[in-house]
Amino acid sequence: MNVTGAQKMHVAVHNPSSLNLNTLEIAIPNEMNFNVSYWNTTMRSLVPAYADKVCYADHLDDGNQVTNCKLQVDAWTPAQGVALLELVRDDANGETSQAKR
C-alpha cells in the first residue's frame, strides 16, 4: 500500500462471516497515524470511531525483523456485509486519535 502524500483514504472492509462483527482490523504503515470515522448506515453519515494502533515485531524468513502495525477499529460490520471507513492522516498528533467508545 503506497499512501505517501495521501491525506484521506476510504477503505471498505468485507466481513465474510455469518456473524456480525463489532471490531475490524486493517494493516497500516507503522510511521503513520490516522483519525478514523465509519459510515453509520442508520445515521447515513460518517461518525468518529474508536481506534487503536497496535504495532508488533515480525520476523522475515531471512532473519531480519520488521515492525508491522494494525489499526483496530470499533465499527459494526454486518454478517457477509461491508463497513466503510474514512482514514484521515494525522502525523502532527503523533498518535492515532480515539473517539469515545
Q: Which amino acid is at 21?
A: L
Q: How confident is the model at residue 100 (pLDDT cuts 50, 70, 90)?
A: very low
Which domain, by its residues, includes 72?
8-89
Cell of 55: 504495532
pLDDT at 12 over 50: yes
Question: What order of strands is seen across the sheet that includes strand 34-40?
Answer: 8-14, 82-89, 34-40, 45-48
Domain containing 49 — which CATH number?
2.60.40
On whether residue 95 sits in a domain, the answer given is no
Percent of the chain predicted with pLDDT > 70: 83
Over residues 33-70, the pLDDT tens digits come to: 899 999 998 899 999 999 999 999 999 899 999 999 99
CA angle in degrees (0–180, nearest 5) for 96-97-101: 120
On whether residue 101 sits in a domain, the answer given is no
Instruction: Give the span between the Cα atoms of 43 and 78, in whole angstroms.
Output: 16
**Residue 69: burial class (beta carbons within 10 Å; 0-12, 13-18, 19+):** middle
Note the pTM of the prediction, 2 decimals.
Answer: 0.76
Q: How many domains does the chain have?
A: 1
